[in-house]
Structures are given as structure tokens and as C-alpha cells.
Structure 1
Amino acid sequence: MSTAIRELPIIDVAPLFTASGRSEVAEQISRACREQGFFYVVGHGIDPALVQRLEALSHEFFALDEATKLRWRMELGGRAWRGYFPLGGELTSNRPDWKEGLYLGTELDDTAPEVVANTPVHGANLFPDIVGFRETILAYMEAVTQLGHRLLEGVALSLGLDAQYFHDRYTADPLILFRLFNYPSQPVPEGLDVQWGVGEHTDYGLLTILHQDSIGGLQVRTPQGWIEATPIPGAFLCNIGDMLDRMTGGLYRSTPHRVTRNTSGSDRLSFPLFFDPNYRARVKPIKGLPAVEQQDDSAQRWDQANVHAFNGEYGDYLLNKVSKVFPQLRESVL
């Protein structure tokens, strides 16, 4: 087992689905959230055949020529912020990432209250016309969303809270955003300012639950320096977002991470699902937690942002972030 795997803990979360052993899992989650902000999840119960099917269909989609993929481009998703973006079409720290992707989320039709209210990042997905793709994406999102609910119960217990603390306040109807990312193994065209597959950043919400294929490339910043988040077959990788950092007063910090450019010779897939507070939720600090000496770590953050200074609905925070990722689409959402 590599050093990187040893540095990021592996937690068997099976007891979160039962009535016994939850306190031991909660203690492991507490330690991981305080020390690394990342941990591998095994014992999650998600069918590996479902994950394999999504990988196969995603490879089929990304192998299409760009003109065909652009039939589902993000500009057609409007305020729902869904659809395909091509290589170099997403920015981190004002530089293009060397990846392409398909943005997805909870599937809502025109009668859903959030859609009727014209709420940003809510609506229908743009599903590519590949047999079985829609059904597989929806089944995967449902399975991982249910895992997210259980993981947040573990996080609540790790903080000495009731297991339903986050559900009752923020995630009875969570904001679920899901991405299919492809990192092609091909050179960057001359003159394009690309350094990374994805530049250094933190995630915005509560938890990110990531499936990555066997190629790897994700790196995590620790107090000892950058380490590889080496893929473990059958495991998901989970990390803390900015809102959990804010809620815990910095006790659990959202950890910067990045993705190297893919030079493996094969396309690399990763599937992050962002399990976030409801769009209209006002995120507040949790009372009674141990005080953290330095809450404001903005000087060490890639965007110099202080998550503890934010005051408002989660949707406000999210839109401020994503409008910088796709500046050309800002007007369709804001």
C-alpha cells in the first residue's frame, strides 16, 4: 500500500446503515475531518456494476466528436446550469482546466416548485442520446445521494450532535450537483494557458463524494505538502466543502486539492457528486463546538476567500463561485 493511501484514512461506513457500531465510525470520521479533510469510504453498499456501467457509457459519450457532444452544450441548459462543456471550457483561478465534462443534477421537470420559481441550478438535465445513459446516471445519483445522507449522519455524530442535525436544518431536500469529467491524454495546444487538469481549489458545499477510475491524478494539500489521492478499487473518496468548514468554525476545514494533467496514454474519468445544503438554506455556525484559534485562513486559500465571513443563503455563495468558473454563462443564471 502506498504512502499516500496510508495518509488518507480508509473508513468502513457499513455501520452507518445499521444500529450498531456507529460511534466507532463517527470517531474515525472526526479524526479524518480534523486532520486531512479527505477520507476513503468503503462498505457503502453501492453496486460496483452500476459504477462500471456509468464508466462504460461515459467513455462512449466522450469518444463522440466535439460537434456531436455540443448538441448538449451548457448554453442550452439555461438557468439549470446543465450540459456539456468542451476542453478548456471551465476555469479555475482564471485559468482553463484541461478537462471536458457533463454537468448534471437532480432531475426536475417544469412543474417542480424550484423551476416554477426560476431558481438557478434547478431544472432538467441534458441527457446525451446514448442507450441506457439517462437511466444509469439517475440510478447512480440516487445511490450516491443516499450514501451522502448516511455520511452526514456520521459527520453529525462525530461532532456530538443528533444524527439528524444536518438533515433537519439543511439537507432534507439537498442541492445535488453531479459531474462526469473526462481528462484526455493529449497535448495542450500551443498558446493555451493550461497548467493543470484542475487547478487548486476547495469545494463549496458540505460533502463531495468522488468516484475516480484507476488512472489517478488527484492531489490533496496537507500540512506536510501535496500528496496523491491514489484510487482504491471499490472505494469512494469523500472530502469536506466550505459550508461544513463554516458550520464547524474551522474545526473541520475544506482542504485544497487539484488534478494533474493526464499523461497516462488513456482517458481518465472522475465522477464527483456534490452533496450540499438546500439552495435557500442559511448556513450558520454550530453552537457549542470547540473554539478554533484561527478561523480565517483566507491568506492560505487559492481565492483568498474567508468562508467564515459569508452571510446569506447557500445559493448566494454557490452562484458567486460558479459564475467565475463559467464567466460566459454568468448572465443566464444571475
Structure 2
Amino acid sequence: MQSTSRNFSDIPVIDISPLYGNDAAAQGRVAEALGKAAREVGFLYVTGSGIDERLFEDLLAATKRFFALPFDKKMQVYIGRSRNHRGYVPEGEEVFYGATKDKKEAFDMSIDLPPDDPDYVAGNPMLGPNQWPDLPGFAEAANAYYGAVFDLGRTLMHGFAMALGEKPDYFDHCITKPPSQLRLIHYPFDSSAEDRMGIGAHTDYECFTLLRSTAAGLELMNGAGEWIDAPPVPGAYVVNIGDMLEIWTNGQFVATSHRVRKVKEERYSFPLFFTVDYDTVVAPMERFVDGDAPARPSVKSGEHLYAQTLQSFTYQKERIARGEITLPGQAAPLSSFGQEALKRPNV
């Protein structure tokens, strides 16, 4: 049967260091804890990754230098100039379901492929080279952090596979060249900030997200519709389950709605959205399908990500309006997962 949303008030903290060792019993305990958190909360903190803290410090310094540039300099790498969704996202460009425009700016990047990559040449909308600003050290810091946290994502995927009763490498065949995206987000100081319930509430489109941030503001919704704080924990990564793992487990793992509360404090946030290869077909595993839990519709991973992107970015919606691009045929409605979606009429 499907897992039910829990009225949780706390987010578990899990030391995943045994996943890097050879103690099968210890790995099993970690996997059990990961599965419990994924089913009952959909959010957790992970420690014990072994990632050098200097990588985060270098990324933060480079990010501050980039966002301090004049607007016209940042717009030289505007995301609308790319054909694979890479670059600078100005304030107001991105809008989640039913929300006003969030007051933030961002820089979006992913696996940095060469211009002659066959998928990029063939027109894949989410794969290819990054757009980089003319800022010494920026690309190096971003790529170094991306590589380290992506490797952490692979390790976590092994843990989730074990939590589902599979071998650690169960998902490895579909993690060869995924469009896992890293966002560098800047929430500027806002003296007029007023909190409003539900602004920016959404789930993440991929398998899970690995997040570091510099200040509080992230909140998640429990089964009672209450917002629970998820403040930064020193040295830990916030992990939240996304749409793909919810589909794979037919709702056993929960993609939990979350938002960034409107706060006055300046804040930097670095989510890496860990996903699988673009053409991976994600369908419920048979063990989670029965009469009480009919199989949810399958999706192609990359098309789901692309479709959600088309529906939430202004430049993409303008391309659709001009007839330059179209939504994938089986595109799900924007933000159709999570507790917040379940509480809306007709969802």
C-alpha cells in the first residue's frame, strides 16, 4: 500500500559514512534510515559525506562575485540565450504554480559537455555546454563543487536502492550522462519582505535534491498542511525526495512540498537536483503496485524535467507562444506532486 503523509515536526539527521565502507550491516542500517525518512518525511539531513568544506567556501565566494556584477554583465549569460537551459536567471524570470514572481536571481548549470556532444548536436534541450561569465575562477569553483556533490548523489542513490530492497548499483545503468542541475541562487536583502503562505510552494522534478544554504528560510509542508523549518545544519546537506523517486516507488517515497519563506536576510542557496539520464523511463516498481495502490503513470525523466521547466520560466513560455517549441505530449501539470498539490481542488 502507498505511504501516507505524516504529521512530522522534525527532520531526521543521518550519517551516511558507512555507505563509503565495507561493513554490510552498517550500510543496511543507513539504508533503513534513508528509507524511513523518504517514506515518512521526504526530507532529511545527511552528514558524513567526506566532501572538503573548502569546495563550498570557494563556490560561495565565486557566487558572491558573480551576483555583485552589474546587471548588464550578468545578462551577457542570460539563460534565454542558451538552447539547453544554462545561465543567468534574473529576478522574476521563474514562477511556480499559482505564485507571484519570487524575489531572487540565479545561475543555472549542469554537466559541462563539449559543443560537439552528440546529444547536444541532436538538439537535446537539457544537455550540452554551460554558459560561463567572464569571471576568473568562477567556472572552476562551480565545476569542482558540482563534481563532488554529484558523486555524493551517486552514493545516496546506492543507499536508496538498498532501502528499496535492491542491490546498491540498481540505478547505475541510468546515471551515465544525466542533466542534473546545480543552481546558484541569491535572495537579496529585502527590508519590505512579508511572509505569505504558499508562495513558491513546489516539489522538485528530479530524483532528489542536495542542498547547502547560508541562512534559514526553507520550509516543508507536513501532512497536516503545516510549514516546518529546515534551517542549515553546519556541514550537512539537506536532501529532499523528488518526483522521480515518488513515481518509481508508486508513492512510497514522498516528494514533499516546500518553499522559501520570505525573509529580510540576504541568503545564498545551492541546490543540486540529482536525476537520471534524459531517456530513462520511470515507472512504478511492481512490488509497490496492488489493488489499493494502482500504478501511477510512467514518465520519461528528461521530458518531465523539460516540461516543468517550460511551464515555469518566462523565456520558455515566450518560446512556446511564438511557436518555436512545444510541450512534450505527456507533460504533467506544473507542480502536480506533493502535499500542497493534494490540497488544491481538482488535483
Range class of TM-score, shorter chain: 0.7 to 0.9
Q: Which residue of 31, 36, 47 maps to 1:31?
A: 36
User: 1:329 deviation in Å?
Assistant: 2.2
Q: Is the 8 A contact 1:174 1:277 kept in 2?
A: yes
| TM-score scaled by length of structure 1 | 0.87
List runs of 5+ in structure 1 lacking aligned partners: 297-307
2:20 is aligned with 1:12: no
Residues 99 and 64 of structure 1: CA distance in aligned 2, closer, same or farther (over 3 Å) = same
Match of 1:273, SS? strand
Give the Cα separation in 2 of the matches to 1:326 and 1:110.
24
2:76 is aligned with 1:71: yes
For 1:278, the equivalent position in structure 2 comes to 277
For 1:176, the equivalent position in structure 2 comes to 180
Give the Cα separation in 1 of the matches to 2:112 and 2:29.
35
Match of 2:189, SS? coil
Taking only aligned residues, the RMSD between alpha carbons, in angstroms, comes to 2.3
Residues 183 and 333 of structure 1: CA distance in aligned 2, closer, same or farther (over 3 Å) = farther
2:237 is aligned with 1:236: yes
Give the Cα separation in 2 of the matches to 1:291 and 1:263.
48
Match of 1:92, SS? coil
User: 1:57 deviation in Å?
Assistant: 1.1
Q: Is the 8 A contact 1:183 1:269 kept in 2?
A: yes
Give the Cα separation in 2 of the matches to 1:175 and 1:166.
15
User: 1:293 deviation in Å?
Assistant: 4.4
User: 1:173 deviation in Å?
Assistant: 2.9
For 2:302, the equivalent position in structure 1 comes to 315
Q: Which amino acid aligns with 1:246?
A: I
Deviations 1:231-274 (A, max 9, x none): 1011110111111000001000100000012312xx20000111
Q: Is the 8 A contact 1:280 1:313 kept in 2?
A: yes
Q: Is the 8 A contact 1:97 1:194 kept in 2?
A: no
| TM-score scaled by length of structure 2 | 0.84
Residues 196 and 133 of structure 1: CA distance in aligned 2, closer, same or farther (over 3 Å) = farther
Deviations 1:191-242 (A, max 9, x none): xx995896000011111111111x2100011124210001101111011111
User: 1:287 deviation in Å?
Assistant: 2.2
Q: Which residue of 118, 140, 146 maps to 1:113?
A: 118
Residues 7 and 250 of structure 1: CA distance in aligned 2, closer, same or farther (over 3 Å) = same
Deviations 1:8-53 (A, max 9, x none): 0111111111111210100110110011001001000111011011
For 1:130, the equivalent position in structure 2 comes to 135
Match of 2:180, SS? strand
List runs of 5+ in structure 2 lacking aligned partners: 1-7, 327-347
Q: Is the 8 A contact 2:9 2:228 kept in 1?
A: no
Residues 333 and 102 of structure 1: CA distance in aligned 2, closer, same or farther (over 3 Å) = farther
Match of 1:251, SS? coil
